[in-house]
Amino acid sequence: MIAKISSGQDTAGLVRYLFDTKKAKDHTDPHLVASWDGFAPDPGRTDDFDATKKLLVADLNLHVKQARRLGRAPEKHTWHCSIRAATTDRHLSDEEWADIARRIVATTGIAPEGDPDGCRWVAVRHAPDHIHIAATKVRADLSAARHWNDYLTADRELAAIEKEYGLFQVVRGDRTAAKRPTRAEQEKARRSGHDKPARERLRATIRAAVAAATSTEEFIHLLNHTDGVLVEVVHFPSGDLRGYKFASQDTTTADKEPVWFSGSELAPDLSFPRIQERLENIEPQPTNQPGRRRSNPWHQATATAERIPHRLDQADDEASQAHLAAFGEALDALPLLVPQPLRPQLREAASAFERATRSRIRAEHHHARALRGAVRAMVREPAPRDGAVVAMFLDAAILVVIAAARWHQLHRHDQQVTAAHQTLLHLQAAYDHAAAAPLAALAQRQPPQQAVERQIRRLRQVVPDHAEQVIADPAFDALAVALAEAEAAGHDPERLLQQAADQRALDDAGSAARVLIWRIQRLTAPSEPSTPTLDSASTRRTPPTSTRQPSAQQSATSGQRRR
């Protein structure tokens, strides 16, 4: 069930609408199912409709008029709550709707149970699947109704009603979701030929910039050099940075100002203080030195991501929330780094998981410094030449999202659970595409049968609980090759298998063989020769393109409505 609550100042107009059957064609047989005292006049059950309607309006307005004489009546004195059942629900009886109405006015504070001074209200049913509650917000003692957070309390009560009545249980949020585009914004996007409104496009662009930046100055610089995005930097009188506003260039016309959004209007975690907090908690990567060898940043990010499911199993909710937020940044960065065929699915995955990165639990971002640092290192590298490293990270990402869905489920974060499940669909599609070529190339190098049988014995010895499943997996041939090549390179296959299995339980994996392949390849990957640090803006695979990196002071002050 879904409630929609609003306030107004015209009791007669509200009652007229609820009982109208001429303009509103879907209104059939309007009538009262409940009222404040059970004896309110019902215009739908009388021969003299107009007279009864006036009488009902006068009764509802009684306390409002009394309070108005004392100057105590609120300007918007009407309270209107519509409650609609799901299309799949059975049609409730008038008595059931009456019970629901009484529970809603009681829990919202309009007419608390057992309170003789509660507000006057009526519940009108004019369609099979919903009712409307109309009330006036002045109590019998002429004080104002105490209905703070009425939508939230009504929604909680409706969740309980759904369970008790056996109705469809709506996926509910925790008031941390990003604001949805209005109908006007959606229509404007369609007229301008965009598949998404400016609000959603800006949100995705800003999240990608956060994932690429290492400081607030660089963050603003990146957005200033992003095509189609306007940035306005706001300062305190002292000159210190206060925040920023964003607009999409296509919302600007010759005679109108662009439609500006603050970061918090786009998403709760995109306010300037929240972004600043995240950017201050990035683990710096080791400086490259000539002659030294370094590990692949994709391998570092994969190893860090693989530890997240274990982190989510701990009792530290603030740390878990931080790891989910940092993983969301990794997904935001991926479309900038991977080959073109993978980008559509990964953009959808990042967009879906955005909802799973927030909850009422406040993140302590210092716990996720390592993953943020690894993601920034990935961004500053050239595109990976080996498709296996992308498949390796996506394989780990799938396990993270499965663990995230489980963590949100335990905390009853319904919308976040749904978002995680949607993310899995897109990640799995991207992974299947990314993994196909590397796995096929491995399988073609199949070792002699004697070597394959040796790997089978090792599997049964090291991972007995999963051995038969792995052997029957279509990817087993590629795993046998990976183990044989590691052995030829001087590694201990049994130790490698044990290390790969110990990194994370294989129970969540759709293909345990594939998980073992990527872990073994990462464990045996040689370090890369050190190269000069890729620190110039022209080498970074980030949303904007630029030719030089301005100083911090220039970045913070040159953002006034620039592209």
Average pLDDT over every residue of 309-338? 94
User: How large is the average pLDDT for residues 73-80?
Assistant: 94
What is the pLDDT, as a whole number, of residue 552?
Answer: 37
Count of C-beta atoms within a 10 Å radius of residue 382 = 10
* CB neighbours of residue 242 within 10 Å: 12
| For range 434-453, the mean pLDDT | 89
Lowest mean pLDDT among 63-77, 142-156, 199-213, 381-395: 381-395
Which structure tokens are listed for 232? 């306005």
Pick the residue with more confidence: 536 or 124?
124
Specify the pLDDT at position 555: 40
SS3 423: helix
**Per the structure block, which two tokens stand in for 519?**
């872990």
What is the structure's pLDDT at 539? 36
- 472 near 380, Cβ under 8 Å? no
**Average pLDDT of the chain, as a whole number:** 87
Structure confidence at residue 540 as a pLDDT band (50, 70, 90): very low
Digit-coded pLDDT (tens) for 416-425: 999 999 999 9
pLDDT at 348: 96
Written as one string, the DSSP assignment of 310-375 is: HHHTSS-HHHHHHHHHHHHHHHHHHHHHS-GGGHHHHHHHHHHHGGGG--SSPP-GGGGHHHHHHH
Q: Cα separation of 92 and 90, whole Å?
A: 6
pLDDT of res. 293: 57
Inform me whether the pLDDT recorded for 184 exceeds 90: no
Distance CA 374, CA 385 (A): 18
Nearest to 378 by CA among 308, 428, 330: 330
pLDDT at 273 over 50: yes
Q: Residue 312's closest CA among 368, 378, 245, 351?
A: 368
Beta bridge partners of 262: 245
User: Residue 260's closest CA among 202, 333, 305, 214?
Assistant: 202
Question: What digits encode the pLDDT tens for the residues 205-229?
Answer: 999 999 999 998 899 889 988 888 9
Report the share of the chain in percent with pLDDT over 90. Answer: 57
Q: Whole-angstrom distance between the N-terminal and C-terminal Cα of the chain? A: 45
pLDDT in tens, 450-483: 888 988 998 999 888 888 988 998 889 999 999 9
How far is residue 68 CA from its own chain's centroid?
45
Q: What length is written for the chain?
A: 563
166 conformational bin, left if phi > 0, alpha if psi -120 to 50, beta if neither: left
Q: What pTM was computed for the model?
A: 0.77
CB-count burial class (<10 Å; 0-12, 13-18, 19+) for 435: buried
Residue 510 has pLDDT above 80, yes or no: no
Q: How confident is the model at residue 385 (pLDDT cuts 50, 70, 90)?
A: confident
| Short-list 301, 359, 365, CA closest to 330 | 301
Mean pLDDT (whole number) for 102-127: 95
